[in-house]
Amino acid sequence: MKNRVKSSPVPPKSLTEAEAADGFAALGNRARLRLLRLFVRAGGEGLNVGDAGRLMEMPASTLAHHLAALVRAGLVIQEKRGREVIGTADYAAIKGAAAYLTEACCAGFEDLAIESKAGAA
């Protein structure tokens, strides 16, 4: 079985149009999308940002730039724990962005409805 993150019981955060746009704009960059994926896969404990930079083979200054964009967009929470800086995915905001896209943007378009894998042909 592949690495799978268990579904979090966190409900989606209700986002405004501006918040959703900021989140999607931040994810329009491949490095940021990869970085967010690392934090999501790290789970609720988060990931040391230095470790994230090493995993991505990214210089600290570049990592700081991309991480700041994800934090500003509300998709990642950054906190200091002792001497470490930990990044954690904001699961409620991520779910909120997905919900915004499927509900606010795609409402009424059955061809765009997301089906569960069990219901897919």
User: DSSP string spanning 48-69?
Assistant: EHHHHHHHHT--HHHHHHHHHH
Asked, for residue 60, whether it belongs to a domain, the answer is yes
**For the chain, how many structural domains are there in total?**
1
Predicted pLDDT of residue 82: 95
pTM to 2 decimal places: 0.77
Q: Which tops the pLDDT comparison, 6 or 109? A: 109
* CATH code at position 45: 1.10.10.10
Asked, for residue 82, whether it belongs to a domain, the answer is yes
Asked, for residue 12, whether it belongs to a domain, the answer is no
Distance CA 121, CA 6 (A): 24
Question: Which uninterrupted H or E stretch holds 87?
Answer: strand 84-89
Asked, for residue 117, whether it belongs to a domain, the answer is no
Asked, for residue 86, whether it belongs to a domain, the answer is yes
Q: Stretch 59-85: mean pLDDT, rounded?
A: 96
Asked, for residue 65, whether it belongs to a domain, the answer is yes
Predicted pLDDT of residue 10: 77
Predicted pLDDT of residue 11: 76
Tokens encoding 51: 């470790």
Q: Are strands 47-48 and 84-89 parallel, antiparallel or unpaired?
A: antiparallel
